Chain A
Amino acid sequence: MAALANSFLSPESSRLKPGELSTGTTIMAVPFPGGVVLGADSRVSTGTYIANRTSDKIAQLSSKIFCCRSGSAADTQALTDYVRFYLQQWEVETGRNATVKVAAHLMRKICYQNKDNLSAGVIVGGWDEVDGGSVYNIPLGGTMIKMDCAIGGSGSTYIYGLTDALHKPNMTKAETVAMVKKSISHAMARDGSSGGIIRTCIVDESGVEREYIPGNQLPYGP
């Protein structure tokens, strides 16, 4: 039974221990000139039971850097705690605001060095003075790749075609937000492990805006 259930899970979730909470998920981050948009569904499950229907999978690492989590909830929470702590230390020592590159590098380092014991796939995104808006994808093994449009979690497999078609270089902030919301809606519609509401996080020089779309108002469909 467990084996059967596991065969439908994404690589991040298939290595969970019995009873472990999974953010069987749809997460996404897209930079635009001057900022970045991050988005996620809100479903957390144990097996087929929804343990939390309004969770926040977009964790804050520093004032303008965020991280979308997928895989084991425990592992990704521990990871973000560590990175948040190291970034705070970095900010104190340098007297500067943290950069997305440093945040992603710290995340990559911990994910790579502990790859045998972690099931975590994360997307780090945010805004900084050096590079503007940027996004890095760090999947299971601890590879780190800078991306123009990153998606992750079990639901993302249903929307690769959609995001490839929707994403254009140099989209405006409004276009990017719309694209993220639409893409996640479609993933939630087809992935049993994704659902609930869509949480978004828009970061640019002026600050952070957090929004959500209730589960009955999703921009699903043509």
Chain B
Amino acid sequence: MASLHLNAATTAPSQHTKYPIVTGTSVLGLRYDGGVMVAADTLCSYGSMAKYKDARRIRTVGPATLLGASGEYSDFQSIMDMLEGMEQQNDNFDDGHSTDAQQTHSYLRAVMYQRRSKMNPLWNDLVVAGPNFLGLVDKIGTTYTDNFIATGFGSYLAIPILRKKWRPTMSEGEARGLLEDCLKVLFYRDCRALNRIQIAKVTEEGGAVVSEPYEIETDWSAASFATTKGGLEGDGGW
């Protein structure tokens, strides 16, 4: 441990980011017939506080790539700055080439892995989508691609639903409906989730488009809400 810097004031070893501060929760992505969709809510939490309710966590990178991020929002902002700089370099060459989703995914893997190897990770799980691509990169540089992907709480709550309901032949409308259903469950069961969401799609014809934020309807009419048993019938009453 000789290489660790010592802080004179506290004699504690100097530390890099070991925890996130302003965080976004789950991001979902799925393939459908004709393209790929990504969905997330617009909340950024400060610890348990729902602090920023209009934080856009899905962005376009170039004409046909979507990037969705959960985790530290400042790191996501800096990743976006980096990618936008690279996209500008592409545009400057003006040869018609732009980095596609698969290349972006691969590049982000290298960046995330290098940062974690310097013990200074970028605290994000990233979903990368292109017209015919859907992949994930996590904060330590692990990657995979799949027909549907969910980060954070979504990997517990949305993945089981997606496993049951997802089909490769889903229409755009069906895909949107399924993602909204998943986000609704996340809103019901994730303390860091919000029912104000954005859904983005990327297709061969239309490129990448992110919707404006909108609220999804929620249902609070379950029988157990209407008639509380107050612990009288032996159900624990919570």
- In the assembled complex, how far is the CB of residue B117 from the closest CB belonging to chain A, in whole angstroms? 17
> Which one of B15, B16, B72 lies within 8 Å of A141 (CB-CB)?
B72
Number of interface residues of B (CB under 8 A): 22
Contact with B along A141-159 (1 / 0, CB 8 A): 1111101000000000100
Contact with A along B20-42 (1 / 0, CB 8 A): 11100000000000000000000
Check A168 for interface membership: any CB of B closer than 8 A.
no
Check A116 for interface membership: any CB of B closer than 8 A.
yes
Q: Do A11 and B21 form a contact, CB below 8 Å, given A139-B46, A145-B55, A157-B49? A: yes
- In the assembled complex, how far is the CB of residue B121 from the closest CB belonging to chain A, in whole angstroms? 12
> Which one of B10, B75, B77 lies within 8 Å of A144 (CB-CB)?
B77
Check A140 for interface membership: any CB of B closer than 8 A.
yes
The reply to whether A141 and B55 form a contact with Cβ atoms under 8 Å apart is no
Give the A-B pair count, Cβ closer than 8 A: 48
> Which one of A11, A18, A141 lies within 8 Å of B74 (CB-CB)?
A141
The reply to whether B20 and A143 form a contact with Cβ atoms under 8 Å apart is no
The reply to whether A139 and B22 form a contact with Cβ atoms under 8 Å apart is yes
A17 CA / B12 CA spacing, docked (Å)? 11
The reply to whether B49 and A160 form a contact with Cβ atoms under 8 Å apart is yes
Q: Do A112 and B72 form a contact, CB below 8 Å, given A139-B46, A141-B22, A157-B49? A: no
What are 21 contact pairs spanning A and B, CB under 8 A?
A: A11-B47, A17-B9, A17-B10, A112-B74, A112-B77, A115-B17, A116-B14, A116-B15, A116-B17, A139-B51, A140-B22, A141-B73, A143-B21, A143-B22, A143-B72, A144-B74, A144-B77, A145-B52, A147-B52, A157-B49, A160-B49
Q: A108-B74, A145-B55 are in contact. List 10 more A-B contacts (CB 8 A).
A: A17-B9, A18-B10, A115-B17, A116-B16, A140-B22, A141-B20, A141-B72, A141-B73, A141-B74, A147-B52
Residues of B within 8 A of A (CB): 9-10, 14-17, 20-22, 44, 46-47, 49, 51-52, 55, 72-75, 77-78
